[in-house]
Amino acid sequence: MAAVDTNVIIRYLVGDDTEQAEAARVLLDAFSPEEPAFICREVMLEVAWVLERSYHFTRSQVAEALMDLTASDSLTVENSDDVAAAAHFYRQHGVGFSDLMVLSAAERAGATPLYTFDRRLARMEGVELVGGKAGSTSQ
């Protein structure tokens, strides 16, 4: 099994560099259910961040792109259930995708509640705000 980096996925999804986009398409089309490509969760985190920050995708567009990647039979996405759950909630809530991945991993491990100082994340089920006073809404 081979692995694919963030920039290949971004070129495949966005197509802003036509030469690299075509090379990414040819590469990804060469993988199959019998010989899938591996995408680690860090790549999925980077893809979400780059699509939102650099390409101004909406949360819904980011979630759809991530869900499409996890649904592909030719790709093996690490912790795909966590990615799918995080993408689902990412569409609906003002919580960062990486925070939702942390929550999903904690839930999968049976490690709840998840304690945080992040007020936005603390609104999610299974999360508790530490001390009831968070200084900011970020990490």
**More confidently predicted of 36 and 135:** 36
Give pLDDT, residue 135. Answer: 44
- pLDDT (average), residues 79-93: 93
Distances from the Cα of 14 to the Cα of 25, 27, 127, 136, angstroms: 11, 15, 34, 33
Asked whether the whole model's pTM tops 0.85, one would answer yes
- pLDDT (average), residues 62-84: 97
pLDDT exceeds 90 at position 139: no
pLDDT exceeds 70 at position 134: no
Kindly report the backbone phi and psi dihedral angles of residue 76, in degrees, each rounded to the nearest multiple of 5, phi listed first: -110, 105
Is residue 96 classed as helix, strand or coil in its secondary structure?
Answer: coil
Give the model confidence (pLDDT) of 98-128 as tens digits: 999 999 999 999 999 999 999 999 999 999 9
Give pLDDT, residue 105. Answer: 93
Give the model confidence (pLDDT) of 17-36 as tens digits: 999 999 999 999 999 999 99
